[in-house]
Amino acid sequence: MVLRTDDFIAVSPLADRYCRVRDASVALCRTLEPEDYVIQSMPSVSPLKWHLAHTTWFFEQFVLVPSEPGYEVFDEGYHYLFNSYYLTKGQMHPRSERGLLSRPTVAQIMMYRRYVDQHMLTLLDGDVDAPLHRLIRLGTHHEQQHQELMLTDIKHVFSINPAKPALVHADRRSRSEPLPALHFLTMAGGLKVIGADEESFHFDNETPRHQVFVNDFGIADRLVTNGEFRAFIADGAYDESSLWLSDGWAWKQTHEVERPLYWSGDLDTEFTLSGMHPIDPDAPVCHVSYYEADAYARWAGHRLPTEAEWEVVAGRTTLDGNFVDNGLLHPQPLIDPAGNEPGQVFGDAWEWTASPYSPYPGFKPLAGSVGEYNGKFMCNQMICRGGSCATPADHIRSSYRNFFYPHERWQFFGFRLAHDA
């Protein structure tokens, strides 16, 4: 079912956004077969039909059940199957076993989406008060997060298939001449303000807006490239323990890591959402862990930026870049370096920072079950900034704080360098 807000007499911006986001999730699956929706290739990956169902469950459980008297849930069993980590909502099916569920079928999940969408559009056609408006908007951004996960999850699923199937046949940008050498822009330090503008949409972990002091620092004008990372490998840096954090060295040794995820052993080709392709030396390196990014920075004589430094830079940068909207679905070379302005701040690849995921001073999670959305994960994870080639353009902002465990690589993780000025 394609949702069209012009089918309704009263069309609100929120209803329009709801329809666009819900349609976008289904559109990502347009080239898939039913068998593709079911596979779970590792515990961090969820089957695509689970994503489609969980995002629907969110609207059903957080919006329709509390707001619509007499609303009948589509299937009582779905509450257990498609809850993710909201313990205040009850128990849930183990994350690592989502790929063992052949039922409900993809067709049943699509029926579930249509059922909930019909009720949601009826609700949106009436009066929606401010708290409910915020909750529904949160639900659309939650679904956009899962859209990115759908792309990175199916990429991992397809990568373990010897046939290396493609999700899409996407164009690739290339430079007519080699990319200029990396250079650093000097940023003035001092007392800065970071965090979300209360007037615009944001997640609770982006608040409260507050002051931080940063020293003068230098920031790279672009992301580190595949060619530059190849030099790191060629120099034997994966075998030099002095470059690695202790946990990173143990992880590397245990898992025998010697190159970015999806790179071939000869370092010539990489798996992408459009199949196997030659590695473009000018494109940003991606699918590297925090440990690898940190080791590279140390090898290069620099460091990773803190999230405060990154946000200072992002605050002076136009919010545009290579997002999922472009349809390229892979980081692309920087075609037109901006000279005295940093490039690739948004899009292409999530940028690892040197900052652990922790609460801002005075942080308070949202009330109720949605308060479990971010706050309880503020431990043992690192902050990533800027969005990626799989992020919707209207989902990202300079204050956006993403967070992952330092060993994870299946997202489009890249990095840029920084140093003390």
Q: Write down the pLDDT at residue 83.
A: 95
Where do the domains of the chain lie? Answer: 5-159, 184-420
List all residues 6 or more positions away from 108 whose beta carbon is below 8 Å from its beta carbon: none
Measured between alpha carbons, how far is 283 from 249 in angstroms, rounded to an integer? 26
SS3 at position 153 = helix
Q: Write down the pLDDT at residue 2.
A: 61
Contact predicate 186/192, CB 8 Å: no
Neighbour count for residue 94 (Cβ, 10 Å): 9
Measured between alpha carbons, how far is 385 from 314 in angstroms, rounded to an integer? 9
Q: Write down the pLDDT at residue 9.
A: 45
Of 224, 337, 238, 343, whose CA–CA distance to 286 is shortest? 224
Measured between alpha carbons, how far is 69 from 198 in angstroms, rounded to an integer? 32
**Series of mean pLDDT values for 10-residue runs along the chain (421 residues):** 52 92 97 97 97 98 94 97 90 96 97 97 93 96 98 98 95 84 95 92 95 97 97 98 98 98 98 97 98 98 98 93 96 83 95 98 89 87 98 97 98 98 91
Q: Write down the pLDDT at residue 8.
A: 47
What digits encode the pLDDT tens for the residues 116-164? 999 999 999 988 999 999 999 999 999 999 999 999 999 999 999 999 9
One-character DSSP codes across 160-215? TSTT---S--------SSPPPPP-EEEE--EEEEES--TTS---GGG-S-EEEEE-
Only one residue has tokens 């012009």, namely: 6
CATH, domain 184-420, list 3.90.1580.10, 2.60.40.1220, 2.40.110.10, 3.30.56.10: 3.90.1580.10
Q: Write down the pLDDT at residue 335.
A: 85
Half-sphere exposure of 390 (CA within 13 A, CB side): 25
Strands (E), 305-377: 321-322, 346-347, 350-356
| ∠ Cα 34 40 44 (to 5°) | 140
Measured between alpha carbons, how far is 50 from 92 in angstroms, rounded to an integer? 13
Measured between alpha carbons, how far is 193 from 195 in angstroms, rounded to an integer? 7
